[in-house]
Amino acid sequence: MHIERNLRPSFIWQKYGWRPLLVFMVYDALIGFMYGPLDFHWLDIPWQPVATLGTAVAFYIGFKSNASYSRFWEARQLWGSVVNSSRTWTGRVLDFVRTPDDNFGYDSVEAEAHRRLVYRHIAWVNALRLHLRRQTAELWQTEVVPFLLDPADHALGQTNNPPAQLVVRQGNDLRQLSFDGMLTEFREVSMAETLRELNNHQGACERIKNTPFPRQYAFFSYVFVIVFAVLLPLGLVEEFDSRVALGPYHVWLMVPFATLVSWVFHTIEKVGHNSENPFENGENDVSMSSICRSIEIDLRQMLAETNVPAPLKPINDVLY
């Protein structure tokens, strides 16, 4: 996710600039050459239908951009809820999980249980990030396993849905703690409710991930922009040709204007396209890596740890 106010010119040129500009410029120059030096005046078409088409395409790609941004914003809100639920979970772990003879002290049994439950939750957050980005197989050992203090949890990376399995392990741990007398029934139910919230957050993220943007909107948005870009110089060439006061080379002025308008429409369409899937680890996606690191810092400090990692820093103005 870009965090600076403005995009770098180099990024704009690389991601949005030179390829479509080159294609549109070559095509528009070809139309100008055929209409001018080759005298193919049958190429021109009335400007009014092209303008009407441009208006319709503008409304269509505007709708697509709004819908794509809604998907991104919902995804970001869900990860904000994950942050809040993570803090709630850790607070309840520290407050609720106590040894039966606890007199507001803090013994090693409590400390071990607290650390196991909180660290497994940090593992869940990172596992969810990898699960949504389809990176679990490659990064499980380095990004998740270090937070799994119970060796029995290490093999969960081989399952179809590791974060869901980690939530199940948390529930099993709560039942064992209740059996050992470290959780009352009321407190166990309260912590189980937090696990239910985490499951809901994960399910909502998976819904966005597994439900692609309707292809009929995405596909025809691109097609309509290309159709408009193809017809635009045909409608503009006669308009510039009729401007006698512009001189003998006035027809060629159509090229930069048609190229610029085509590029603007194409860029709006591509911006919407880049926001369709907010969990792809791209420059415009939700910065899940940074959010996971922030959660890890907060939760480990709630455990009174001081040796915590630093927040992630942006790379070329992009926070991943």
Q: How much is the pLDDT for 166?
A: 97
Least confident range from 42-46, 126-130, 246-250, 303-307: namely 246-250
Residue reference for tokens 């791209």: 282
Segment 117-120 long-range contacts (CB within 8 Å, at least 24 positions apart): 117/89, 117/93, 117/170, 117/173, 118/89, 118/90, 118/93, 118/299, 118/300, 118/302, 118/303, 119/147, 119/148, 119/149, 120/147, 120/148, 120/149, 120/150, 120/153, 120/166, 120/169, 120/170, 120/173
- What is the per-residue pLDDT across 117-167, written as a single tens digit (0 to 9) for each? 999 999 999 999 999 999 988 999 999 999 999 999 999 999 999 999 999
DSSP string, 156-214: GGGSS-HHHHHHHHHHHHHHHHHHTTSS-HHHHHHHHHHHHHHHHHHHHHHHHHHSPPP
* pLDDT of 317 higher than 80: no
pLDDT digits 0-9 by tens, 186-241: 999 999 999 999 999 999 999 999 988 877 778 888 899 999 999 998 888 877 66
What is the number of other CB atoms lying within 10 angstroms of the CB of residue 7? 13
State how far the Cα of 20 lies from the Cα of 26, in Å rounded to an integer.
10
Q: Hey, which bits of 19-66 come out as E strands?
A: none
pLDDT for the residue 122: 97
Q: Can you read off the two tokens belonging to residue 172? A: 């099993």
Q: Which residues contact 165 (CB under 8 A, 6 or more apart)?
A: 156, 159
Average pLDDT, the chain: 87
The residue ranges of every structural domain in the chain are 71-212+289-302
> Helix 47-96 vs helix 288-302: angle between axes, to the nearest 10 degrees?
20
Q: Which pLDDT score, from 0 to 100, does residue 118 have?
A: 96
